[in-house]
Amino acid sequence: MEDRYEEFKVAGEDVVKTVKKLIAEGNARKIIIKNEKGDTLVEFPLTVGAIGALLLPALAAVGAVAALVANCTIVVERKQK
């Protein structure tokens, strides 16, 4: 079974909100945030049990990245249904 990937172009101030939404959907396996040049800034896996306090460090990293970039791309690896 192959995983599928989706990309979202977002402004820096919307990065954290978008990542939280993707996590809440529950079918993301990995989230990668890239800058405008396509360089990976942060990448973190989402495991089935990763909820609440376990995601706080990842969200803090996302917030730090959002403060540094004007626009970025969020790549989401999703479980194939």
User: Tens of pLDDT along 43-76?
Assistant: 888 765 555 555 667 777 777 777 778 889 999 9
Whole-angstrom CA distances from 59 to 2, 36, 49 are 27, 20, 16
Query: pTM of the entire structure?
Result: 0.77
The topology under which CATH files domain 4-78 is Dna Ligase; domain 1 (3.30.1490)
Domain boundaries, the chain: 4-78
Angle at 68 between CA 22 and CA 79, to 5 degrees: 20
Assess contact for 71 and 12: CB atoms under 8 A: yes
Mean pLDDT confidence for 8-23: 87
Q: Is 6 helix (H, G, I), strand (E, B) or coil?
A: strand
Assess contact for 3 and 46: CB atoms under 8 A: no
